[in-house]
Amino acid sequence: MTRSLLEMQRTRTPVEIPSILENLSVVTFLKEKELPCDPKVRSLFSHSTSLHLLQAQKGEEKALIPLRIGVLFSGGPAPGGHNVIAGLFDALQQSTPEGALFGFFRGPEGLLQEKYCPISAQSVDAIRNTGGFTLLGSSRTKIETHAQMQLAMNTCNKLRLDGLVVIGGDDSNTNAAMLGKFFLDKNCPTCIVGVPKTIDGDLTHAHLPLSFGFDTACRVYAEMIGNLCMDAASTCTYTHFVKLMGRSASHIALECALTTHPNYTLIAEEIALKKQTLRNIVNDIADLVMQRSALHKNYGVILIPEGLIEFIPEISLLIKEINGLLGQGEPTSSFEIIAKLSSSSRKCLESLPESVQKQLFLRRDPHGNVQVSLIETEKLLAELVSQELDRRKEQGTFSGTFHYRTHFFGYEGRSSFPSLFDSTYCYALGMGAYTLIKENLTNHLVAIDSLALPIYEWSVQALPLLSLLHMEEREGQQKAVIRKTLVDCSKKAFLHFARDRDSWRLEDDYQSPGPMQFPEYFDPFFFLPQSYLNEHVRNF
Amino acid sequence: MTRSLLEMQRTRTPVEIPSILENLSVVTFLKEKELPCDPKVRSLFSHSTSLHLLQAQKGEEKALIPLRIGVLFSGGPAPGGHNVIAGLFDALQQSTPEGALFGFFRGPEGLLQEKYCPISAQSVDAIRNTGGFTLLGSSRTKIETHAQMQLAMNTCNKLRLDGLVVIGGDDSNTNAAMLGKFFLDKNCPTCIVGVPKTIDGDLTHAHLPLSFGFDTACRVYAEMIGNLCMDAASTCTYTHFVKLMGRSASHIALECALTTHPNYTLIAEEIALKKQTLRNIVNDIADLVMQRSALHKNYGVILIPEGLIEFIPEISLLIKEINGLLGQGEPTSSFEIIAKLSSSSRKCLESLPESVQKQLFLRRDPHGNVQVSLIETEKLLAELVSQELDRRKEQGTFSGTFHYRTHFFGYEGRSSFPSLFDSTYCYALGMGAYTLIKENLTNHLVAIDSLALPIYEWSVQALPLLSLLHMEEREGQQKAVIRKTLVDCSKKAFLHFARDRDSWRLEDDYQSPGPMQFPEYFDPFFFLPQSYLNEHVRNF
């Protein structure tokens, strides 16, 4: 791969670090407080595992010993991953030149199959501040079974690793927690350290304000949404229905709404809370189109979170029923399934456009479930709104025009150039991960806090993975997994949005943030995601 | 609309101008050479219309008189349009403060309905270097009939306009040429000046190397394509099929290929030239997937120009037949149409996925034609390739995996922040348009040439609209229209690509250009589109 001009510039740009990471030989961790934990989760783990939040502090200078560390990417890419490796590498180099960093290819797969490479200064210099996980690749392979954990341990033992850094989301860090427990049980000396990665923004905690990649992905989508807003206001012709990646949670839709001010944004968690039906949503949007049309605005921009469909009560029930019927042995014909549905689910299915009915029946994942993410919710809503407006036209209550275009923004935001925030944040996470291993801390996630302060004042913490776990039903069994953080409609990040959104419906307060810039000096206020500023900085 | 931080920064950034535009009172136009013209076109116009290419030169200082100028946007938005207005406004202000600029709302519609506003310094200062046509809006209204031309003339007379600047693409400038002729015939003193706008890059001429907006739109799409390339190389899981806007011509796909190096790029003009069938294309892509899979690369990126489907011989014939049958009076059922198709077209139709068959029958434009742009070519190709690979799997010749994702990039590139090039180019076009009106030149397009030289050496020209026209069948009649420039497979812009593309198939030479930057100093080599550099600067 050859590097573009901007990549070459970015690879040469140094990254600012928190002052606590300036001299690694004095970093020590102090117990901050004990965190709460579900007793069922607690009972799964040996009681030797601490539940204390640990804070990095400057202590006495200690001689640093050469460490051997392994690192891997797990799951979908998120911008900034390369800088975690750069931070880790630089910390290792700064402490003792005899240390070694090994990268596992294609995530956990490389760990299981002993596919890795030593990471050199040259390879790190080529990836600083660049997007993607191209240095090592990634995969969704999981380390779950006893045999897999044994293989992973064998690799760590063979390489004599002092630490293994897992860069991953909620599922990957759940796996990391289990692997860490296995290592402790087997007296394997390799520390497991998690790094919070996910563009979806759903891996957070009271002491983990943000996962990396969220800021950048939102900026990439917001650039495109801002452009669509400008296009809508220029041609005055189209209503753009924009679906945004983000799995179940609507954090991305919320953040993009805060930065671009579209006319309407669906927040799935709010819809579930208010028990809104698909009919309610369609009518709401049709009302909006009519109100705008009365102002001669036959255009608009509407944001839709990818996970929406699971949060609409009647569709969520329908999907559950179909999955249940599909799961019962042999593949069943769609007629048979229809016959076995409850009458309310049959009615719900009937109300959906044919193309969506097909998607519900045809596309199943390896476990036989409907693949919710492949359902084109943006087209579903646009078509239903169009039908509703046709009905109103016939009734004589609507006389405007309604042309729509649909979009889905997702993959283009996962491997983008990391934003200034994610570049800085990830580099600090990488260095922070080193300090955890140096202090022999295992089963912790490295967390950076106080992000609204100047970078040199950011704090580095070790957050016990245990404190993130809760019990949840997965494939019919109760399992300890990391809880996905959904949008909380009682929190300030949402409340700011809820206060402002009404004025965006009719007035076109569109904002076009434009392409991400990498200036030497920047406005710290625009350095962080807007939902973070709402939650932690702004008064309400 | 409130402005984003970057918009506020950009509105305050001054734009460099060609030295010829530094002192407007000395600008004069000299005849360069007579341009060729279709005699049939020539005979439609009064012989007083000149066919000389005119070159702006520094002459004797002349006192400038206050001018009254009207301006409108016509057709789809293109980044930089606001700077045309800024350039025009500043030129008018610099010459005499008594001049006046009027903006017509929603394009030609505003001219016909006398909907306009005087453009103030304040409103211009708020739109400098910003995207969209939001200052005035735009529309696809055409001025074609005698009655419409009369209305347009009435408005110009009422406002006592010395000039009317039409910012538009090929169709809009065709209309401008006809309106200019009408004004000449009726002794209306308003000069008509066209400004070459289109992201599609299909409005060019020997003396008009580029239309504005093309550079920016390609950079926006290339940012996203580069991100998808990095994503493909990170997860090693998906083949991305990316359709790109651009109407019939494949200029955008070519330019994006040159900047991102995807594994495969379809150039519609080449496919027509080589008379490749849909089967050929599908087999070619399936071969590529197999070759890459043999190297353990079960991923890739493929670019598809929006106009492709019209250039595939058998589909182009099928569409023609369907349009013919649909045009014959009453709406016909799809069964009736199928019965009346030629046997080869019926066979072609049968080979297409059901969803595309439906799109061919269901969606018609106001003239009853199939709406080619709404056919999801990216899904068509992906599905056919998937079917072909399934066949090969059954035959035992393919054992890899093939997962695809489809994308369409279009609307998000039309109203983006203009690139440094388009900002500079458009500002010069706006100032240039003023100089044409000042010199009483009508029925000309303002053209800037020598773009590979430093900005201060750029040349300003007046290109007779007549020289761009040729005779073409439109709705069954021979009409004088501006010829769309397609990709010429014998020219260097294409030949460079053709030379390099083979090495991109298997080797992953992906380039991620990243988000557009607006630095104070920049590399002039990256200032211009790559296809321009290939054609006019690089040796082959």
With contact defined as beta carbons under 8 Å apart, do A153 and A182 qualify? yes
- DSSP string for residues in A90-136: HHHHHH-TT-EEEEETTTHHHHHTT-EEEPPHHHHHTTTT--SSTTT
| The predicted structure's pLDDT at residue B41 | 92
Q: Identify from B411, B422, B423, B521 which residue to disrupt to test chain A contact, counting A C-beta atoms within 10 A and taking the largest count.
A: B411
Please report, for residues A22, B53, B70, the alpha-carbon distance to residue B192 in angstroms, rounded to integers and kept in the order given: 66, 16, 10
- Tell me the average pLDDT of chain A: 93
Which residues on chain A are in Cβ contact (under 8 Å) with B127? none
Q: Report the DSSP beta bridge partners of residue B242.
A: B303, B407
Least Cα separation, residue B26 to chain A (angstroms): 36
Chain-centre distance for alpha carbon B462: 20
For the ranges A211-220, A330-339, B214-223, the lowest mean pLDDT is seen at: A330-339
Q: Considering all CA atoms of chain B, what is the largest pairwise distance in Å, rounded to the nearest integer?
A: 82
> Is the predicted pLDDT of residue A157 greater than 80, yes or no?
yes
Tell me whether residues A514 and B230 touch, CB distance under 8 A. no
For the ranges A174-188, A430-444, B350-364, B435-449, the lowest mean pLDDT is seen at: B350-364
Residue type, position A35, single letter: L
- Does A485 reside within a domain? no
Q: Identify from B227, B259, B299 which residue to disrupt to test chain A contact, counting A C-beta atoms within 10 A and taking the largest count.
A: B227
Residues A400-404: what's their mean pLDDT?
96
To the nearest 10°, report the CA torsion of B63, B64, B65, B70: 170
Which residues on chain A are in Cβ contact (under 8 Å) with B417? 512, 514-515
| The predicted structure's pLDDT at residue B104 | 98
Q: Do A295 and A340 fall within a single domain?
A: yes
Which of B133, B230, B415 faces A132 most closely, judged by CB atoms? B230
Least Cα separation, residue B426 to chain A (angstroms): 17
Q: Report the DSSP beta bridge partners of residue B241.
A: B302, B406
| The predicted structure's pLDDT at residue B358 | 82
Which of A3, A5, A10 faces B526 most closely, judged by CB atoms? A5
DSSP symbol at A456: G
d(CA B218, CA B225): 10
Q: Say what the ipTM of the complex is.
A: 0.95
- Does B329 reside within a domain? yes
Q: Do A300 and A361 fall within a single domain?
A: yes
Tell me whether residues A411 and B2 touch, CB distance under 8 A. no
Tell me whether residues A137 and B235 touch, CB distance under 8 A. yes
Tokens at residue A208, please?
A: 């983990």
Helices (H), B103-213: 108-112, 121-125, 146-158, 170-185
> Is the predicted pLDDT of residue A522 greater than 80, yes or no?
no
Q: Identify from A130, A231, A236, A409 which residue to disrupt to test chain B contact, counting B C-beta atoms within 10 A and taking the largest count.
A: A231
Q: Which residues contact A379 (CB under 8 A, 6 or more apart)?
A: A241, A353, A355, A356, A406
Reported residue count of chain A is 540
d(CA B169, CA B414): 13
With contact defined as beta carbons under 8 Å apart, do B363 and B326 qualify? no
> Is the predicted pLDDT of residue A192 greater than 60, yes or no?
yes
Of B109, B6, B489, B49, the closest CA to residue B269 belongs to B489
pLDDT by residue (tens digit) across A308-317?
998 999 999 9
- Chain B residue with the nearest C-alpha to that of A419: B515
| The predicted structure's pLDDT at residue A335 | 83
Residues A443-461: what's their mean pLDDT?
95
Least Cα separation, residue B171 to chain A (angstroms): 17
- Does B369 reside within a domain? yes
Radius of gyration (Cα) for chain B, nearest Å?
25
pLDDT by residue (tens digit) across A343-392?
999 999 998 888 888 888 765 666 566 777 778 999 999 999 999 999 99
- Chain B residue with the nearest C-alpha to that of A297: B137
Q: Do A517 and A388 fall within a single domain?
A: yes
**SS3 label, residue B234:** helix
Q: Do A328 and A266 fall within a single domain?
A: yes
A10-49 burial, b at 16+ Cβ within 10 Å, e below that, comes to bbeeebebbebbeebeebbbeebeebebeeebeebbeeeb
Which residues on chain B are in Cβ contact (under 8 Å) with A2? 261, 509, 511
Q: Which strands sit side by side in the sheet containing B238-244, from one edge to the other?
A: B264-265, B300-305, B238-244, B403-409
- Chain B residue with the nearest C-alpha to that of A414: B231
Tokens 């060729």, located at residue = B36
| The predicted structure's pLDDT at residue A69 | 98
Q: Do A115 and A243 fall within a single domain?
A: no
Tell me whether residues A131 and B227 touch, CB distance under 8 A. yes
With residue A427 as reference, give the H or E element that holds it.
helix A420-438
Residues A284-290: what's their mean pLDDT?
98
Which residues on chain A are in Cβ contact (under 8 Å) with B517? 6, 515, 517-518
Please report, for residues A339, B90, B313, B322, B463, the alpha-carbon distance to residue B362 in angstroms, rounded to integers and kept in the order given: 31, 49, 22, 11, 42
Tell me whether residues B4 and A514 touch, CB distance under 8 A. yes
- Chain B residue with the nearest C-alpha to that of A240: B411
Q: Do A383 and A239 fall within a single domain?
A: yes
Which residues on chain B are in Cβ contact (under 8 Å) with A516? 515
> Block means of pLDDT (10 residues each) for chain B, length 540 residues?
90 96 97 93 79 96 95 97 98 91 97 97 97 96 94 98 97 95 95 98 95 98 98 97 95 97 98 95 98 97 95 90 73 79 93 84 64 85 96 96 96 97 97 98 96 94 96 85 95 94 96 93 78 83
Tell me whether residues B1 and A227 touch, CB distance under 8 A. no
| The predicted structure's pLDDT at residue B97 | 83
**SS3 label, residue B45:** coil
Tokens at residue B217, please?
A: 């739109």
| The predicted structure's pLDDT at residue A301 | 98
Q: Do A431 and A400 fall within a single domain?
A: no
Count of domains observed in chain B = 1
**Share above pLDDT 70 across residues of chain A, in percent, rounded to a whole number:** 96
Which residues on chain B are in Cβ contact (under 8 Å) with A224? 224, 412
In CATH, what number is assigned to the domain containing residue A444?
Answer: 3.40.50.450
Q: Do A358 and A507 fall within a single domain?
A: yes
- DSSP string for residues in B318-361: HHHHHHHHHHSSS---HHHHHHHS-HHHHHHHHHS-HHHHHHHH
Tell me whether residues B235 and A5 touch, CB distance under 8 A. no
d(CA A193, CA A162): 11
Which residues on chain A are in Cβ contact (under 8 Å) with B76? 235
Q: Do A409 and A422 fall within a single domain?
A: no
Q: Do A168 and A119 fall within a single domain?
A: yes
- Does A431 reside within a domain? yes
- Chain B residue with the nearest C-alpha to that of A525: B5
Of B110, B114, B153, the closest CA to residue B133 belongs to B110
- Does A352 reside within a domain? yes
Tell me whether residues B228 and A411 touch, CB distance under 8 A. yes
d(CA A217, CA A199): 6
Q: Which residue has the higher pLDDT, A42 or A21?
A: A21
DSSP symbol at A330: S
In a 13 Å sphere around the CA of B150, the CA atoms on its Cβ side amount to: 3
DSSP symbol at A186: T
| The predicted structure's pLDDT at residue A293 | 97
Which residues on chain A are in Cβ contact (under 8 Å) with B235? 76-77, 133, 137-139
Tell me whether residues B236 and A139 touch, CB distance under 8 A. yes
**Strands A116-118 and A163-168, how do they pair?**
unpaired
- Does A256 reside within a domain? yes
DSSP symbol at A447: E
Most confident of A139-148, A285-294, A335-344: A285-294
d(CA B521, CA B523): 7
> Is the predicted pLDDT of residue A189 greater than 80, yes or no?
yes
- Chain A residue with the nearest C-alpha to that of B74: A235
| The predicted structure's pLDDT at residue A422 | 97
Burial-class residue A159 by CB neighbours within 10 Å (0-12, 13-18, 19+): buried
In CATH, what number is assigned to the domain containing residue A357?
Answer: 3.40.50.460
For chains A and B, count residue pairs whose Cβ atoms are closer than 8 Å. 187
Which residues on chain B are in Cβ contact (under 8 Å) with A240? 411
- Does A356 reside within a domain? yes
d(CA A66, CA A86): 17
| The predicted structure's pLDDT at residue A400 | 95
Q: Do A298 and A425 fall within a single domain?
A: no
- Residues of B marked as catalytic: 200
Tell me whether residues B417 and A512 touch, CB distance under 8 A. yes
| The predicted structure's pLDDT at residue A362 | 66
Residue A449 designated active-site: no
What residues make up the domain containing A404?
220-413+490-536
Residue A474 has phi, psi (to 5 degrees) of: -130, 120
- Does B49 reside within a domain? no
| The predicted structure's pLDDT at residue B536 | 86
With contact defined as beta carbons under 8 Å apart, do B383 and B353 qualify? yes
Residues A118-130: what's their mean pLDDT?
97
Helix, strand and coil percent figures for chain B, each rounded to 5? 45, 15, 35
Q: Do A375 and A358 fall within a single domain?
A: yes
